[in-house]
Amino acid sequence: MHSIFVSDLHLSPERPGIVESFFRFLADAAPGADSLYVLGDLFDYWAGDDGADEPFNASVATGLARLARGGVAVLLMHGNRDLLLGEAYARRCGARLIPDPTLVALHGTMTLVMHGDTLCTGDVDYQRFRATVHDPATQRAFLARPLGERRERILKWRSESERSKQAKSAAIMDVTPAAVEAALRVHAYPRLIHGHTHRPARHVHEVDGHRCERWVLPDWYERGGYLRCDAAGCTPVAL
Ligand code: MN
């Protein structure tokens, strides 16, 4: 009995090496698990479920659906890159969309799973942007525009954010300890697993006398990896 956690794959047809790693992961590592949690940013961007028939998007859904049919529960969480991924595409993947955060009893240990961007409270500009793009009315209005226009808009936002990131300090783009502690406190001191920061590590937080473990998942920009958790604990695995 074990679960597997991944995030920040940033799958895109422009990155064939990582796409190949992903399909190999679906064929080799994932089938033995009880559950696969994708904690956000499965895709480099997602313009809407009406793009699900594009060959690349369809192939990812087919791969996940095959895994799900084989008996692995596939749980998808939004990241900042794919927050418009909807129920229709999740169904096609044989997956269930789960909210951020989600608290789960994982092989005997209460575990809080998050994408991780909400913990980066030092990045005030990003948090303001996040609040806007998570507004349901804003999302509805955006999704009412043609798919091609949405895609262009997203790519423009992305290049703007890449530019602004270069001016931000490394500390601003990491989680803030206070936000981590607040999340642990609210959920009664669970283990925490998240991605987003691309700084894979195991941290231990002492909060109100409780020792809490925090695992940060690796991104898949160069090679990728996952976290494997069972009743004995979690182990990072590089691909
Ligand atoms: Mn992210």
Distance in Å, CA 155 to ligand 1 centroid: 15
Cβ-based neighbours of 88, under 8 Å, separated by 6 or more: 49, 52
**Residues 39 and 70: beta-carbon distance below 8 Å:** no
Distance in Å, CA 112 to ligand 1 centroid: 17
Distance in Å, CA 47 to ligand 1 centroid: 16
Average predicted confidence (pLDDT) for the chain: 96
Distance in Å, CA 117 to ligand 1 centroid: 6
Q: Name the nearest CA neighbour of 85 among 73, 71, 100, 72.
A: 100
Distance in Å, CA 84 to ligand 1 centroid: 13
Cβ-based neighbours of 126, under 8 Å, separated by 6 or more: 117, 120, 161
**Count of domains observed in the chain:** 1
The amino acid at 95: A
- Specify the CATH number for the domain of residue 213: 3.60.21.10
Domain that holds residue 49: 3-238
Whole-angstrom Cα distance, residue 83 to residue 12? 16
Q: What is the DSSP letter of 50?
A: G
Give the pLDDT score at 84. Answer: 97
Give the pLDDT score at 164. Answer: 87
Distance in Å, CA 209 to ligand 1 centroid: 30
Residue 170 CB neighbour total at 10 angstroms: 8
Give the pLDDT score at 189. Answer: 98
Distance in Å, CA 158 to ligand 1 centroid: 12
Strand partners, 237: 226
Distance in Å, CA 102 to ligand 1 centroid: 16
Give the pLDDT score at 223. Answer: 87
Distance in Å, CA 68 to ligand 1 centroid: 24
Give the pLDDT score at 173. Answer: 87
Residues of the chain with pLDDT under 70: none
Distance in Å, CA 144 to ligand 1 centroid: 24
What backbone torsions phi and psi does residue 70 show, to the nearest 5 degrees? -75, 0
Q: Is the pTM of this model over 0.95?
A: yes
Distance in Å, CA 199 to ligand 1 centroid: 12
